[in-house]
Amino acid sequence: MQVEQLQSPQGATIEGPLLISPKAFGDERGWFFESWNQRKFDEAVDEAVVFSQDNHSRSAQGVLRGLHYQLSPEPQAKLVRASIGEIFDVAVDIRRGSTTFGQWVGAHLSAENKQQLWVPEGFAHGFLTLSAVAEVQYKARGFWNKDCERAIRWNDATIGIAWPLDQLAGTEVNLSGKDGDAASLDQATATGDIF
């Protein structure tokens, strides 16, 4: 397993999110890899992580989910991977006082590259489906809690995420009503809805 810290487009290394590349073993019959190993993961993130639930979603091309997060008392961290298709996965630092507040990192996660993105508490998370269909699986630390759930607008100019919209082959971005009405980062900060 290879672990890599990601840099924001501004060139800053953002402490927390990690890109994890499992080692796959393959031959003419197919391939095998460990998608999860408690010991190796805990060593990679330098803490003992206990996951509460596994989630699985299926999305058509152009579906954008996010930018989601949960506040106390039930914050969530996520280990995300695409088991079918390809997504562009993003984590945005929303930790008050962080030197990288408002900056983001992103990675192409696909069934082919088998990479995973660790999104710890303190980050908003979202993804854009690039392939015709994608199935995304993620392990979550912390249970889903509607009262703690928040969202930040996916195209907030303050954050400036460079979503690879050119890879959608003319498909429009498809949002849920909740995500379409999400607050800006400035609004979330003003109301105290950040970490």
In a domain, 66, yes or no: yes
| Residue closest to 188 by CA, chosen among 93, 105, 106, 100 | 93
Q: What is the tally of structural domains in the chain? A: 1
In a domain, 25, yes or no: yes
CATH code (residue 16): 2.60.120.10
In a domain, 195, yes or no: no
Lowest mean pLDDT among 22-26, 113-117, 121-125: 22-26
pLDDT at residue 165 greater than cutoff 90: yes
Q: Is residue 71 classed as helix, strand or coil in its secondary structure? A: coil
CB 82 within 8 A of CB 171: no
Query: How large is the average pLDDT for residues 162-171?
Result: 96
CB 144 within 8 A of CB 58: no
Catalytic, 125? Answer no
pLDDT at residue 31 greater than cutoff 90: no
How far is the C-alpha of 152 from the C-alpha of 160, rounded, in Å?
12
Q: Which of 68, 69, 108, 125 is flagged as catalytic?
A: 68
Q: What are phi and psi of 143, to 5 degrees?
A: -80, 155
User: What does the mean pLDDT of the chain come to?
Assistant: 96
CB 167 within 8 A of CB 130: yes
Alpha helices (H) in 61-121, listed in sequence order: none
Query: How large is the average pLDDT for residues 123-152?
Result: 98
Q: How confident is the model at residue 36 (pLDDT cuts 50, 70, 90)?
A: confident
Domain that holds residue 100: 2-190
In a domain, 83, yes or no: yes
Residue 162 has what DSSP assignment? -
Tokens at residue 130, please?
């690039």
Catalytic, 68? Answer yes
In a domain, 56, yes or no: yes
pLDDT at residue 119 greater than cutoff 90: yes
